[in-house]
Structure 1
């Protein structure tokens, strides 16, 4: 969770956004945001459209045709009941969590470490702490009744429906309920920060334009050929499309390092193509971007913490050779977002070798112990419940873990994962994928009125 809190919007900024009909009035700590008006640029956000000598990655933005755009609700700050509700709790539970946060011990007098003080201070952390109850009695006994477990801790029906979506059942079974709720909560929190950042930046630009360039703007209206009454649908679509591409290029990646493309690149002979599907909200914080200022991929943002299939105790970096597998995870990330916000597919090229597959967190037999020190591992993805697999006795693994326990994609082929096991190998990976990165950003589905 990010420790850097987003700068609050000021009353003047809220007012100008209301005047521009970008947001509506405050209702229960939430604002309705107009997607169409939010995506209109004020003239300073054009994104590069052709490859430049300094380009490190190419980005393709995928979205549906823009029509009459609807609004979405967004908490107006990171310190309100609406924020906790947005993260996936019922209004009643959100109010309870917020009340506990309000009376928290003063962070300056707490006898804890600096990190603990910061965690205590962030409201969203209180929301995450609630999820820990799923790992304790009596809720930990409800492994086979996840819907009941979620309702008992005050998870909203919207989030319950998201977790239990039948089309994502296979992905859901690859991790514990606590892990998925944690990821969804963090992703939603990052989404709120990102859109509050966008709103604040747009308010500042609008205020600057109105105060500094009002005379110039008024004069321009009356110049021949500068009519603003053009209602051509294609022009409007292109305008909003370029605005969206510009926002993502400038906000998630350093502009000088990326190029927006319209078609995906061809696979390069002699290179291994690896894919990763993820959501854009998870881990979002300023000034961090997916691609660092030096052009390297920020590996910290895409690391998998302990408890993965191959990393019981340390960080690891998971990719897959199949675009279909990455797409399953991207679609799941999009489903978990409150806005059905965009997800990303990333590809990179590497020339690393692979090792044998291993089962999740089980004690290794002697003949597999050498693989515990491997730099890179490749194997299938187990969709047997993560709380069950470690309990299987070593002598029973071969007949209690079957091929049916592997994640597959639509044609029945088993999904695989390629895992980089430590920082040393990741440091060696960075220069290999530099300038070989391709990122697809899938924008949220837009409904017509």
Structure 2
């Protein structure tokens, strides 16, 4: 008879390690004396720490760990401003313990590494100066936190207390305030009250309009409480359908079923659960970077892929003039309805509903002058990149929220005959490991 060996859990095991380089995902790489790889949170490159394992066993290729004691601190380390940050606590912020400038350098290191490893590209190859740019107003002294997050998703524990999820966990860390939440969110006072029978709360404070919204997800069989918050607010309720193919629907309880955002000189309707950048300066910054890179010309034809509520499509239509034309493609039904509403005054804008990889080949379009794509975190993928390249645009603007997906897709664009003209990176998620990039591509010269 053969027996199956059960791997030994290493959770709780502690190792004294030298911390190596930053890695994508909000942690740094270290190795134990035996050569085992650790992905360590709450550490910084060059430090010596005691790392306690949070995930992994004796058969794991790598272990996840938290730095629970700092034996030698980096000059970039600061005391975390948030009392809920740290090992085993709120998982929302990755870099509370790093100076703001150091956070941006870490993100630049991640982008450099991903470009090299996944696409064989250097910063010089993509004409990137190696910096991650802060948004205006976000340059704060060490120990301070910019309050930037206009959309916050709270979880609610069994006692009805609002909080945030711990890292890689469903456990809730109750909080009395989120330091990175925008003022419009904090003013609602969600953390001050109890939320019986509620599983989750999404709070939205729209930029420019003053609109506020909460979307409540009741527990199974739970009833909606009477909502009394510290500021006027629209209230919506998530209804989970029944059955294997059930869809998630959102119902208005009172107030508007949408918020109004302001960007690029226009007002944008964003329905409940719809995508909009969470940093109040993000939409303007990204539109400016994309338009500067694409240099739209009157009368051109443009594509806006993964167009959401139509932000880039509207910016393009405004600049292309009456003879220009824009086609947007978006998979989320509510976002399509919002985009059509937002762009109803442009006669030569069309918004199609469906997945880009399925709809774009069916449009019958054989060429486009300029293309902007803002795909989800997984990226666009090889087939979609090939389809875009087959339309022979003179320029492509790729807006990316994940450096790994961006690097992979840049390699696909290279194979399809396109090269980066330049790349910019923006720190639109301070205190976290996330950042945004805009890459402008153009046809590569033959033989290059």
TM-score, normalised to structure 1's length?
Answer: 0.25
Give the structure, 1 or 2, with the largest relative contact order (CA under 8 Å, sep 6 or more): 1
Higher strand share: 2
Higher helix share: 1
TM-score, normalised to structure 2's length?
Answer: 0.25
